[in-house]
Amino acid sequence: MKGVSGRFSEEETKIFDAQVFEQSCRTCHASCGDCHVKSPIVSGINLGLIDGHKFVRKDESKTCALCHGGRVYPEFTGEYGGMPDVHYQKGMLCTDCHTSTQLHGDGKVYASRREVEVRPTCVQCHNTKEGSERSVSVHRDHVGWVSCSSCHSAAPYRNCSSCHVGEGATSSPGLFLGKNPRNPKEVTTLRLVPAVRDTFKKVGIQQQNFDSMPNYWDTYPHNIKKRTDRTRDCAVCHEEKTYFLTEEMLIKGGSEANKKLIFHH
């Protein structure tokens, strides 16, 4: 809900809570059994018990992928885009980075996952001050204003192209670089959230404050590689400006706030 609620008036928020959130968004908020005993109900569909009536501690293709299988898990395994994450190729699992404390909570209520201080970061494992002279130099020049995924996301990742109440959604691949809407000083990978002006029109929500939020949000695709076209050749970003968001690329009918994310070299 955080991704769209800023667009609503107070009255529209009430309509969204009653007619949209309860029927759609809420289906992915799971209890213990939804991950470890049975699959969660997604879009009104339930696949039943995972392994009879047994409590399954680990089976990431089910305990994680059933909810995160739309974007994250297929990117991680290479099923979407054909480029598996280097961590997956080395035999790592979701819980190698996302610990049980992060998954089960620490007793505090957070407004969003970005407020959790112990969430995983690349530099927890990778020391950018070690390696070849060129590697250390490049990381030093980009630290603080370019995210790791901007250079190390290996392939286009899944973006939702349309999302209308009761009409489903379609997806398309894309790799977008632009300003982080949460930190405009940083260039990062962006993912399209396709709430256009008439998305909730049929339930009476006009999105009074539609242009207060962008359609592109900072994301960390799970398709990381050490070597990509950007790490091999600086010109990809600094001369050819490949992948950078432009006004021509912006979603039709999208927010005016999208223009603020365009990085001008």
Residues 168-194 have pLDDT tens digits of: 677 889 999 999 999 999 999 999 988
- The pLDDT, as a whole number, for residue 127 is 94
Residue range 210-242, pLDDT digits in tens: 999 999 999 999 999 999 999 999 999 999 999
pLDDT above 80 (res 3): no
Judged by DSSP in three states, 114 sits in: helix
d(CA 225, CA 151): 9
Q: Which of 146, 136, 130, 250 has its CA nearest to residue 193?
A: 250
Q: Measured between alpha carbons, how far is 221 from 245 in angstroms, rounded to an integer?
A: 17
Mean pLDDT calculated for residue range 69-96: 91
CA 206 to chain centre: 26
Please say if the pLDDT value at position 158 is more than 80. yes
CA distance 219 to 233: 23
Rounded average pLDDT over 96-124: 82
Please name every residue paired with 180 in a beta bridge, in sequence order, or none if there are none: 183
The predicted pLDDT at position 43 comes to: 55
Instruction: Map residue 142 onto helix, strand or coil.
Output: helix
pLDDT at residue number 106: 79
- pLDDT averaged over every residue in the chain: 85
Domain limits, the chain: 2-30+69-261
Over residues 60-69, the mean pLDDT reads 78
pLDDT given for residue 250 in this prediction? 93
In this prediction, residue 15 carries a pLDDT of 81
Residues 118, 102: contact at Cβ < 8 Å?
yes
Query: Which residues face 224 on adjacent strands?
Result: 153
pLDDT recorded at residue 16: 79
What is the bridge-based pairing of β-strands 183-192 and 176-180? antiparallel
Which residue is it, tokens 């969660």?
40
- pTM for the whole structure: 0.82
For residue 171, give the 3-state DSSP assignment: strand
Identify the pLDDT of residue 65.
Answer: 82
Q: Which one is predicted more confidently, 116 or 187?
A: 187
What DSSP assignment string belongs to 50-70? SBTB---S--HHHHTHHHHTT
For 11-52, the pLDDT digits (tens) are 888 887 777 766 655 555 566 777 787 776 665 566 777 777
Q: Mean pLDDT across the stretch 83-97?
A: 93
The DSSP bridge partners found for residue 100 are none
